[in-house]
Amino acid sequence: MANPTAAMLVIGDEILSGRTRDANMHYLAGELTKQGIDLNEVRIVSDDAPAIEAAVKALSDTHDHVFTSGGIGPTHDDITADCIARAFGAHIDVRADARALLEVHYEKSGLELNDARLRMARIPDGAELIDNPVSTAPGFTIGNVHVMAGVPLVFQAMVASVLPSLTGGRPLLSQTLRVDRGEGDIAATLAALAEDFGDLSIGCYPFQTNGVFGANVVVRGTDGGRIDAAMIRLAKEIEL
Amino acid sequence: MANPTAAMLVIGDEILSGRTRDANMHYLAGELTKQGIDLNEVRIVSDDAPAIEAAVKALSDTHDHVFTSGGIGPTHDDITADCIARAFGAHIDVRADARALLEVHYEKSGLELNDARLRMARIPDGAELIDNPVSTAPGFTIGNVHVMAGVPLVFQAMVASVLPSLTGGRPLLSQTLRVDRGEGDIAATLAALAEDFGDLSIGCYPFQTNGVFGANVVVRGTDGGRIDAAMIRLAKEIEL
């Protein structure tokens, strides 16, 4: 059986302007790979309601799971929850269960639970809350979309809350062979290998270090024995 | 007049599997911001022909410029050029001008210009070559799509070749104010500021360092005077 598929939607002007380097995508990619869920696509859009709504709809229709990051804080540019609600045609307002979480948290911290902070309790009807052990304000899952914070520590905690509940597939395994030759020299060998091992993915990633060209050949798949077989043949054929 | 818009398409399994952290997106975002071209969307797809073709078409239709990275090397998984040609309904084959560049390069380096390396001279009819001062094999521009390599050094060199030929807009300027308070405390102030400065983008990016919560408020726009005015009001209202 094929692994479940996933897409990620990163929301935030600060990534697209080059101000911030996204860290969540790389993290999620690694976690999904371990769990046997195939991340097939990532989109990054700005804090723009129609763009967020259209992207969520498109990705939700074509993947088993969608993970979003960013735009669920207390400020005016945090519009993700409302956009997702619209994409699913769901009513959204401050919800009692989320509000209760925030009340306890701000009571303890001595900060005021003002209108801005209450925005973080806006949860669509029918959504399930995602636990946030770092800063309390929850994410949520609606349909096949998991809505999470953009701050990396919080994002990672929410991923840890969500992933155990998802049915994974066979973890993607990989082995890498570094070859200190130009990839043009080994391309024919790799093409034949990819042909004979159609169940594996054979990738070739060139690099250049101190003027020397080389390539990392990465063999990926879910069957460790097949990966071993491909690596043994590869090592023989390129005569390391 | 509004700035030209751009999208980026990153092609590569190695990014989606979490093996490699993409560096090109962050680089391009910074360069486009300097030139006054607004990067509105990024998509990352795997080495999958239908996915590449569909993404190029969608992005090309909705943005002034599309920049792609990855998948134009000599190996079997380098399928970008053929996908782009199909997206534009253009014929593609080894082209004499690109072949001539490779012949000189491999003659000099003493390496064989074999069939695999010749694949890097596959250029769609009607496309314009993009200079590659690092490793010779060219990128190309067809329609509004600029097709570039995934190796960061080569990608950056190609961006430097392409950008001067594009008409930019007014560079996006920004100023940042660090506030050592939770963003919930300043949210109402920011919302009112965003309302009164509709020509600027006011972003709020929370952080957590050693258990202390704070936020960076970033004010972006093309008019430096307006940004100054917004920052002065902001500093006053949150009483630093």
For residue range B85-141, list pLDDT tens digits in order: 999 999 999 999 999 999 999 999 888 999 999 999 999 999 999 999 998 999 999
Is the pLDDT score of B146 beyond 70? yes
**CA-to-CA dists, residue B169 to B34, B158, B172, angstroms:** 9, 20, 9
For residue range A130-153, list pLDDT tens digits in order: 999 998 999 999 999 999 999 999
Is the pLDDT score of A86 beyond 80? yes
For residue range A154-196, list pLDDT tens digits in order: 999 999 999 999 988 888 899 999 998 888 999 999 999 999 9
The pLDDT score that the predictor gives to residue B240 is 58
State which residue of chain A sits closest to B31, comparing Cα positions. A18
Please tell me the distance from the alpha carbon of residue B197 to that of residue B179, in angstroms, as a whole number.
20
B17:A25 CB<8 A: no
Q: Would you give the end-to-end CA distance of chain B in angstroms?
A: 36
Q: Enumerate the residues of chain A whose CB falls inside 8 A of the CB of residue B43.
A: 41-44
A41:B46 CB<8 A: yes
**Separation in Å, CA of A12 to nearest CA in chain B:** 9
CATH 3.40.1010.10 holds for B173-237: no
Where do we find the tokens 């509000």?
Answer: A99
B5-165: CATH topology is Molybdenum Cofactor Biosythetic Enzyme; Chain A (3.40.980)
A19:B172 CB<8 A: no
For residue range B36-74, list pLDDT tens digits in order: 999 999 999 999 999 999 999 999 999 999 999 999 999
**Separation in Å, CA of B186 to nearest CA in chain A:** 8
The pLDDT score that the predictor gives to residue A172 is 86
- Who among B76, B172, B187 is closest to A17 (CB)? B172
Is the pLDDT score of B204 beyond 80? yes
What residues does each domain of chain A span?
5-165, 173-237
CA dihedral sign of residues B149, B151, B157, B159: positive
The interface pTM score, or ipTM, of the predicted complex is 0.90
B187:A75 CB<8 A: yes
**CA-to-CA dists, residue A127 to A82, A103, A140, B80, angstroms:** 12, 20, 6, 39
Q: Enumerate the residues of chain B whose CB falls inside 8 A of the CB of residue A41.
A: 16, 43-46, 51
Number of H helices, E strands in chain A: 9, 11
Percentage of residues in chain B having pLDDT higher than 70: 99
Average pLDDT of chain A to the nearest whole number: 93
